[in-house]
């Protein structure tokens, strides 16, 4: 059973719209959408925008209601063992312009860059901007990943903690991505 601690939203959460929003946000299908968006590295509320607009129309556009939705979503996600990854992530849609992104506790965000002359030569680091990469190569941004599953399947990384330690010491981890052969 999910619990909501309204804090600064006490009076709004007790109103009709507050009660309806909490009921909506705690539905199994809504939670599944919040978690799916988060698994895809998106702000959680991106997964429920259409449903919010459909169920609440213009009511959801009020700034205070949107703030309370974010407050409620954070408590839902944290009670389901997600942790806050980043606040104020730009969202290019309606009703939200900024939102919070969540991740699993064992996820750590990494960024992969490809050698522009050899796309199988990849450097992985923990920052996208001002990344410390080998200087003898021109690097182009390739991908972001956070889950151990993506790290394992896409890059052959088996130990995320070792990767973090290596990057902490050297600034990057360089690796060669092998070609995957298709079965005939």
- State how far the Cα of 94 lies from the Cα of 88, in Å rounded to an integer: 15
**pLDDT number for residue 21:** 98
Q: If you search the block for the tokens 């903690």, which residue do you land on?
A: 161
**pLDDT number for residue 106:** 86
- What percent of the chain lies above the pLDDT cut of 90? 86
At residue 41 the predicted structure's pLDDT band, cuts being 50, 70 and 90, is confident
- State how far the Cα of 81 lies from the Cα of 86, in Å rounded to an integer: 16
**pLDDT number for residue 182:** 63
- State how far the Cα of 138 lies from the Cα of 6, in Å rounded to an integer: 50
Query: What predicted TM-score, i.e. pTM, was given to this entire model?
Result: 0.78
Q: Is 100 within 8 Å of 44 (Cβ atoms)? A: yes
Residue 180 has pLDDT above 70, yes or no: no
Q: Is 163 within 8 Å of 125 (Cβ atoms)? A: no
- State how far the Cα of 114 lies from the Cα of 177, in Å rounded to an integer: 10
**pLDDT number for residue 125:** 97
Give mean pLDDT, residues 54-58: 97
């Amino acid at each position: 059973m999910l619990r909501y601690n309204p804090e600064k939203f006490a009076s709004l959460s007790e109103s009709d719209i507050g009660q309806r929003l909490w009921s909506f946000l705690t539905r199994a299908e809504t939670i599944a959408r919040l978690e799916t968006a988060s698994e895809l590295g998106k702000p959680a509320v991106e997964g429920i925008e259409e449903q919010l607009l459909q169920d609440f129309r213009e009511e959801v556009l009020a700034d205070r209601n949107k703030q309370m939705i974010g407050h409620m979503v954070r408590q839902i996600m944290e009670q389901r063992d997600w942790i806050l990854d980043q606040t104020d992530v730009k969202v290019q849609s309606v009703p939200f312009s900024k939102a919070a992104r969540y991740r699993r506790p064992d996820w750590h965000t990494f960024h992969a860059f490809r050698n522009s002359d050899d796309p199988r030569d990849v450097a992985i680091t923990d920052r996208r901007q001002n990344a410390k990469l080998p200087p003898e190569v021109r690097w182009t941004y390739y991908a972001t990943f956070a889950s151990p599953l993506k790290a394992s399947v896409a890059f052959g990384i088996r130990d995320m903690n070792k990767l973090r330690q290596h990057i902490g010491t050297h600034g990057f981890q360089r690796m060669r991505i092998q070609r995957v052969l298709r079965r005939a």
